Structure 1
């Protein structure tokens, strides 16, 4: 099931700002790094995150919460639930 348009807008915002993000996935795994781009990998829409280990692509539908944090502009820090699965 795709994420809502509103949730997608938040993903676009963190990419435009190259925000520091913390993702909590439905599996319980966490991904932290800099939001770089929205990409398609094998037909799946993903958030590309630059981590300390390199770039990773995270399926948008697997993200439970997206938190933009530790960014210099405090207004650029927020947390949003992308999906409720």
Structure 2
């Protein structure tokens, strides 16, 4: 699973990319998205809609995106993500 950004060679980060999209299992499933943020949200939606498991090496990254940043399904946090949530939500 990946979000990809294609830029013309030599272009800086200020220039809009040629394409932003999502690849799952080596297949491009979405392209021409408007931003990396929307691509991340779409990837989480695809994972949920297709009932896919988070990739094991970055399982907690996806869980933080879903549970803390997007505030979805917060009552089912793993202990590691909950501890991170407590640390960052303290006043």
Larger Rg: 2
Of Structure 1 and Structure 2, which has the larger fraction of its residues in strand? 1
Of Structure 1 and Structure 2, which has the larger fraction of its residues in helix? 2
TM-score above 0.5, yes or no = no
Q: Normalising by the residue count of structure 1, what TM-score does the alignment of the two structures yield?
A: 0.29
